Structure 1
Amino acid sequence: MSPSRFRTFLLASAVVLTCASPAGAEESRTEAPVVTSSPVTSVAESVVRVKVPLPASAGARPAACDWLSYLRFRHVDGPAKSADADRILIAQPGVLEGAGAFDSVARNTITQAAAQGRHLEFWALDRRSNCLEDQTGVLAGLAAEDSHVAVDYYYRGKEIDGRTFAGYPTNDQVAWLQNVGLEQTVRDQYDLMVKELSDAAVRKQKVLCGGHSLGGIITAFFAQWDFDHDPATKADAGFNQCAGYFALDTRIGTRLPGTAQAQAVPTGTTPGVDLGPEFVKLGLNLGFIPRTLSAPAVINSETMNLLAIAGLSADLDPGGQSDLATYIPAGPNTDDTYRLLFSKDYATFFKGSPTVQDFRITNAGVLGGLLDDNSQPLAFMQASVGFFSGGKLADKSFPVPADLVKTPGLEGLAKLVGPEKKAIPDEPNGPLYTWLDYDQMDGTVATSADGAPFTTPAKEVTAIDELARSLAEHPLDFTEHFFPTKLVTDIALASSPQIAGDAVHPEGIEANPTITLLAGDGILAGSPTDGIFGTLVVAPGYQHIDVLTAAATQNDGRPEPISTALADFAG
């Protein structure tokens, strides 16, 4: 059987396993192997689903949402039972992030530990709200090796195995998410851990709890949480479920970066006590506060799915010319997203031309343009995956000129858009723009208007094919289409009595060893480190996503530093 047909056969099997909803099964736990094209064949991956129903008070929801899911990574030579592993790392995802985002860091960490004679497991958690996603089209396109299959499913009503796309649920259709916030999120992790690792001693001795971005904040609240509602009994406390904590470009702390937590209004000082949380609760209940994080363009359910489709195209045919911008039907969301992401300057943005459809770009180039730190304008969505090649490039000054982030008093803009100069193709209807991978920075990189190269080998750390694979080949995907707003509002209002009643063990945050692994150019770059305790590791040149996706071998020939340090910490 040819490699292509073998891959198609295996991936088709994965589609069958994934598309079957666990909600109708009689068993309370399912585990199915996941087959990907990862070159790291020493790590086995499976998708685990455990039935943990929401309380009746949560409201009506799809049956699949009464299950919790995670990707289980383990070494092929390691023990079959999780409890017999040397360590189990359990990771909470960040905002707009799913379990598939942890693929590379999980594989690299497990491989590093195995080389030292230790067998780790890495559990990448999916939030409960990810049950609303329909990956049928992406996984069917993967099996058929044709991204048009995915587009036809999501945009043209084409049927796959008797199923048609029902559309993206609206705010009214996800009313139950108004009850899924911080309390439910930490409770879900606790319930999953207890069901999967019933021996409390195993949890306390072997589990490392952590996460990426917002996942570090969730971990801090988990550490403080009292799960039996009796502060006097601490065996159930979050910090007693973990042997240590790890933070991936985040901190183990309870405050959202760059904000101060809102305070409740003291009783007797103002009519209507605790207006903040009460107002938010009312807004979520009535729906005038959106129940999922969404914007008219760039950040919404459809565009998160578009990233998966772009990843699929780059995964299947990286050097082929992309036709997604023309094959996907035009619509307000896609048109506005393309315009916001691919405008060279304000004149181009307001004029509306040239558009991305006017350029010839490979599938890898499109994915790089969407997520690379020299193109993507939002720092929390950036990775360092290489650079454009094949045609004339221009400095991209939309939405923020590169020099502006260096203006005294405006340095904070770098936290929003990242510190790197942005570039964009500048020859419409011209040559085919290709993509140089992270390890192809050989002196041919174009120069910016200031005469310096847009990037250097030291600034590139993630392989474009690994990023594409992570986006497209997992039954629990890289992106999160329905991030529950209540999770963030609860954290912002965490000092109010209604929310803080169970986070009663502040000592829990420092109760266990901690490692903080920061991206050198990420969203926390330059922030004070005095609030960080335990071991601190900074990876130079890394962006916010790179701590999850960086290649096992870096351009300096050394092993990837984040996974190396994490494997050492797990020892």
Structure 2
Amino acid sequence: MGRSPHPLGAFAVLAASAATLLAVTTAAGPVSAREPGRSETPVASGSPVTDVTESVVRVKVPLPASAGPHPAACDWLSYLRFRHKDGPASPAAADRILVAQPGILEGAGAFDSVARNTVSAAARSGGHIEFWALDRRSNCLEDGTGIQAGLRAKDVHLAVDYYYRQKEVDGRKFAGYQTNDQVKWLQNVGLEQTVRDQYDLMVRELPDQAARRRKMMCGGHSLGGVLTAFFAEWDFDGDHSTTGDAGYNQCSGYFALDTRISTRLPGFGGDFPEEWVPLLRFGAGAVQAGLETGVVPRALSAPAVINTETMNLLAVAGLAARLDPGGVSDLATYPPPSFNTDTTYRILFSKDYPAFLKGSPAVRDFRFTNAAALGGLLDDNSQPLAFMQASLGFWDGGKIVDKEFPAPNDLEGIGLGGLTRLLGTEKKAIPDEPGGPLYTWRNFDRVGAPDDPVHTSKDGTPFTSAGKEVTDIAELARSLSEHPLDFTEHYFPTKMVTDIALAAAPGIADDAVHENGVAANPTLNLEAEGGLGGDPQPGDVVAPGYQHIDVLTASAVQNGGRPEPVSANLAAFAAG
């Protein structure tokens, strides 16, 4: 193929290294079917962007027999379809369709805010576009019964009882999180299956290739940028001399949300640091053998922070913050204790190494509102992993100090500035009054308000400012808990990242032959100032104050009344 070894994207590297160091409704068959093999069902939303409608679309595209035994639900591809309420009912009549691949550990629900904001912005300029947020095959393994039941009943304990206390909901009992042996088929779901799934879905939904070439724009967030690049290069009919089926001929342009449309690694000089995943040194055969024997986990997982249970825990935290943001959180006390959740809380809520080693003070020693608990899990001044960070506001209600675990705040001063790609650019902070006040959350648009106490780091500088806060925590809570296709991806196939890292090996990406595919169409790069997209280039849009997740979740109206730049530029790109 004439290409150098293909590395993972930065986001995949971060997740894999984090795993080394240390984390919907079940996609059942179709509902409200209107034609064989396809269903489309409206999704009720509490979004403040009221001129955009949402539906969940499921299309039957069976896995090949070579995938092995798998749940029947996994023979369906799903996506969230966002369109303007006054727009055409048929996607073929839309002005443009943006087709988005999620990042690592992400599901379709993560695109909620950016999709709505982009569709709405386009309509204000007279255009009717659609935004299709894709779910990958592995999302079919998720069980969102408890979240959806808790949402309907307005009772987060109903969700916790379902997932943690073996209580039935609607006659159904949670079967538990899938073990490595139960997801054996994921060892065959990697790069090739993923790009082919996108192609098959696009062809099924818009059969006319000329219409796809004219109307569809392809892109994604994080890992989705790398997948889009491979999609652009892929030949889908097996005849490399023809190009009508080539990925780049299904799209009129590409969009990159804090990533690059590239099969190479942004920000690391194009080379994958193999020492982060040593198994890759042994080659594709050894990796596949490890997956087939189960020695290599078939879904990306770690004992804490990154695994199926903790991904689901984010939805539970989002549900609690949505239903009762000012209520006292019992997220750390109501569910029965487990090694996974206890270790996760210990990592995320330890002030320093002595606190982590002693396990004291523990998260149970503090009182948080539900909004503050969610902020502690995902805010860029709290969450230690950069690829899971958003700019949501800041702690409030009591004494706040520097959080110096798992790394000190002054990374540059001690010569570890390179770790910001893993840990983020913002100083970490944590409540410091166990048994004391109720810690609340100051939303992004209240940072810098007259009543803001302006909490400062030990060096005397403020932890944050209004210009660094962009995402409404109430909207993030809604996105985490509202959709029938989840915000997170609980069973991310390990084969996806190993295939990308070893794509030059025979048998992995043999059909990625159209090496001009990425250059064949215009690209819009939309980067977070503190994100993972790599070094900005002329023509890139850099969103100030944004972190990696903010490009998906930022509020339509920013502090100071500014319009949200990612969706505004994406809408303009689609209109062009």
TM norm structure 2: 0.92
2:236 match: secondary structure: coil
Match of 1:125 among 127, 134, 154: 134
Match of 1:21 among 23, 29, 42: 29
2:560 match: secondary structure: coil
Q: Which amino acid aligns with 2:548?
A: H
Match of 2:441 among 428, 435, 445: 435
Q: What residue is the counterpart of 2:453 in the other structure?
A: 444
Q: Does residue 297 of structure 1 match 2:304?
A: yes
**Deviation of 1:162 (Å):** 1.1
Q: Which has the higher contact order (CA 8 A, sep 6+)?
A: 2
Q: Whole-Å Cα distance in 2 between the matches of residues 55 and 494 of structure 1?
A: 21
1:289-438 aligned at under 5 Å gives the runs 289-408=296-415, 410-438=416-444
Q: What residue is the counterpart of 2:184 in the other structure?
A: 175
1:477 match: secondary structure: coil
Is this contact kept in 1: 2:255–2:523, CA < 8 A?
yes
Q: Which amino acid aligns with 2:257?
A: L
**Deviation of 1:256 (Å):** 3.4
Q: Which amino acid aligns with 1:36?
A: S
1:178-197 aligned at under 5 Å gives the runs 178-197=187-206
Match of 2:143 among 124, 131, 134: 134
**Deviation of 1:275 (Å):** 5.1
Q: Which amino acid aligns with 2:238?
A: H
**Deviation of 1:498 (Å):** 1.5
Q: Does residue 103 of structure 1 match 2:112?
A: yes
**Deviation of 1:255 (Å):** 1.9
Q: What residue is the counterpart of 1:538 in the other structure?
A: 542
| Residues 523 and 106 (structure 1), Cα distance of their counterparts in 2 relative to 1, 3 Å cut | same
Q: Does residue 260 of structure 1 match 2:271?
A: yes
Q: What residue is the counterpart of 1:568 in the other structure?
A: 572
Match of 1:159 among 160, 163, 168: 168
**Deviation of 1:229 (Å):** 1.1
Q: Whole-Å Cα distance in 2 between the matches of residues 472 and 405 of structure 1?
A: 37
Is this contact kept in 1: 2:28–2:73, CA < 8 A?
no
**Deviation of 1:406 (Å):** 4.4
Q: Whole-Å Cα distance in 2 between the matches of residues 328 and 528 of structure 1?
A: 43
Question: Any gaps of 5 or more consecutive residues in structure 2?
Answer: 1-23, 275-280
Q: What residue is the counterpart of 1:201 in the other structure?
A: 210
Is this contact kept in 1: 2:456–2:463, CA < 8 A?
yes
Q: Whole-Å Cα distance in 2 between the matches of residues 372 and 509 of structure 1?
A: 34
Q: Whole-Å Cα distance in 1 between the matches of residues 172 and 156 of structure 2?
A: 17
Q: Whole-Å Cα distance in 1 between the matches of residues 190 and 401 of structure 2?
A: 43
2:104 match: secondary structure: coil
Question: Any gaps of 5 or more consecutive residues in structure 1?
Answer: 1-14, 264-273
Q: What residue is the counterpart of 1:74 in the other structure?
A: 83
Is this contact kept in 1: 2:329–2:367, CA < 8 A?
yes
| Residues 504 and 313 (structure 1), Cα distance of their counterparts in 2 relative to 1, 3 Å cut | same
1:494-533 aligned at under 5 Å gives the runs 494-524=503-533, 527-529=534-536
**Deviation of 1:453 (Å):** 1.2
CA deviations 1:428-459 (Å, max 9, x no partner) are 11110000000001242211111111100000
Q: Does residue 65 of structure 1 match 2:74?
A: yes
Q: Whole-Å Cα distance in 2 between the matches of residues 22 and 89 of structure 1?
A: 23
Is this contact kept in 1: 2:94–2:128, CA < 8 A?
yes
**Deviation of 1:523 (Å):** 2.2
Is this contact kept in 2: 1:89–1:207, CA < 8 A?
yes
| Residues 426 and 285 (structure 1), Cα distance of their counterparts in 2 relative to 1, 3 Å cut | same
Q: Whole-Å Cα distance in 2 between the matches of residues 24 and 556 of structure 1?
A: 44
**Deviation of 1:331 (Å):** 0.5
Q: What residue is the counterpart of 1:547 in the other structure?
A: 551
**Deviation of 1:24 (Å):** 12
Q: Whole-Å Cα distance in 1 between the matches of residues 31 and 487 of structure 2?
A: 22
CA deviations 1:62-88 (Å, max 9, x no partner) are 000000000000000000001100000
**Deviation of 1:499 (Å):** 1.5
Is this contact kept in 2: 1:262–1:494, CA < 8 A?
no
1:22 match: secondary structure: coil
Q: Whole-Å Cα distance in 2 between the matches of residues 381 and 454 of structure 1?
A: 19
2:315 match: secondary structure: helix
| Residues 453 and 125 (structure 1), Cα distance of their counterparts in 2 relative to 1, 3 Å cut | same
Q: Whole-Å Cα distance in 2 between the matches of residues 301 and 31 of structure 1?
A: 27
| Residues 300 and 538 (structure 1), Cα distance of their counterparts in 2 relative to 1, 3 Å cut | same
1:149 match: secondary structure: helix
CA RMSD of aligned residues (A): 1.7
1:103 match: secondary structure: helix
Q: What residue is the counterpart of 2:96 in the other structure?
A: 87
Q: What residue is the counterpart of 2:488 in the other structure?
A: 479
**Deviation of 1:497 (Å):** 2.0
1:564 match: secondary structure: helix
2:356 match: secondary structure: helix
CA deviations 1:103-134 (Å, max 9, x no partner) are 00000001110000000100000010000000
CA deviations 1:448-498 (Å, max 9, x no partner) are 111111100000000000100000000001011000000100000011121
Q: Which moved more, 1:184-193 or 1:399-408?
A: 399-408
| Residues 405 and 23 (structure 1), Cα distance of their counterparts in 2 relative to 1, 3 Å cut | farther
Q: Which amino acid aligns with 1:181?
A: G
Q: Which amino acid aligns with 2:444?
A: Y
Q: What residue is the counterpart of 1:12 in the other structure?
A: none
| Residues 23 and 45 (structure 1), Cα distance of their counterparts in 2 relative to 1, 3 Å cut | closer
2:79 match: secondary structure: strand
Is this contact kept in 1: 2:27–2:141, CA < 8 A?
no
Is this contact kept in 2: 1:305–1:481, CA < 8 A?
yes
CA deviations 1:522-557 (Å, max 9, x no partner) are 123xx434xx68x41000110000000000011121
CA deviations 1:287-310 (Å, max 9, x no partner) are 101100000000000000000000
Is this contact kept in 2: 1:321–1:362, CA < 8 A?
yes
1:374 match: secondary structure: coil
2:561 match: secondary structure: coil
**Deviation of 1:27 (Å):** 2.9
Is this contact kept in 2: 1:405–1:413, CA < 8 A?
no
Count of residues paired in the alignment: 540
Q: Whole-Å Cα distance in 1 between the matches of residues 273 and 500 of structure 2?
A: 9
Q: Whole-Å Cα distance in 2 between the matches of residues 18 and 521 of structure 1?
A: 34
2:232 match: secondary structure: helix
Q: Whole-Å Cα distance in 1 between the matches of residues 201 and 227 of structure 2?
A: 15
CA deviations 1:138-194 (Å, max 9, x no partner) are 010000000000000001111111110000110011010000000000000000000
Q: What residue is the counterpart of 2:19 in the other structure?
A: none
1:48 match: secondary structure: strand
Is this contact kept in 1: 2:41–2:55, CA < 8 A?
yes
| Residues 472 and 235 (structure 1), Cα distance of their counterparts in 2 relative to 1, 3 Å cut | same
The ranges of structure 1 where at least 4 consecutive aligned residues each deviate by more than 6 angstroms after the TM superposition are 23-26
